Amino acid sequence: MENVLMRFCRETRRYTVKNVAEKLGVPPEAYREMEKGDLLLTRKQAELLGQLYNADASYFYREAVQLDLLQTRMAIIKIVKRENILMGAKLKKNEVAAIKRNVAATEGDIAVAQKKMIASQKELASIRKG
C-alpha cells in the first residue's frame, strides 16, 4: 500500500526520489520503500519531510503509522484466512475418519445382529420340528 502523501508532495514539488532521499539521509531505494509503505518512516524523517515541504511533520508520521497498521492488519487477516482453510481441511478429514469409524461399528453391529437372527431362526426351526 503506497504512502500517497509522500509521493504527492514529492511529485508536486518536482523532486526526484534521489533528491528527497538525500534530504532524509537514506539511500534512494530506502526512500522508495518508504513511499511504497514497505519501510516505516521515523519521527526524525517525518520532521525532515515537514521541513522540506513546509508542512506539519505529524502529517507524514501519522500517515506512515496508519499505513503500517493497515498493512499489519491485512497480513494478519491473510494469515487467519489461511489458518481457517487449513483447520477446515483438518476438521473435514476428522469428520470423514469419524464417519468411517461409525460405519465400521455399525457394520459390526449388523454382523452380530445377523448371527443372532440366524441362531434364532435355527432355534425356531428346531422348536417347530420337535
pTM for the full predicted model = 0.59
Tens digits of per-residue pLDDT, 81-127?
999 898 888 888 888 888 888 888 788 878 877 888 888 888 878 88
pLDDT of residue 127: 81
Answer CATH for 4-92 from 2.60.40.420, 1.10.260.40, 1.10.10.60, 2.160.10.10: 1.10.260.40
CA atoms within 13 A on the CB side of 88: 6
Q: How far is CA 77 from its chain centroid?
A: 4
pLDDT per position as a tens digit, 47-84: 999 999 999 999 898 888 888 888 888 888 999 899 98
Provide the pLDDT for residue 48: 96
Write down the pLDDT at residue 126. 81
HSE-up (13 A, CA, CB side) for residue 66: 10
DSSP conformational letter for 26: S
Give the residue from 41, 2, 43, 5 showing the smallest Cα distance to 21. Answer: 41
Tracing cell 454382523 back to the chain, one arrives at 111
The helix/strand/coil state of 84 is helix
Q: Dihedral sign, CA of 17, 23, 29, 31?
A: negative
Largest CA-CA distance found in the chain, in angstroms, rounded = 115
Distance CA 52, CA 15 (A): 10
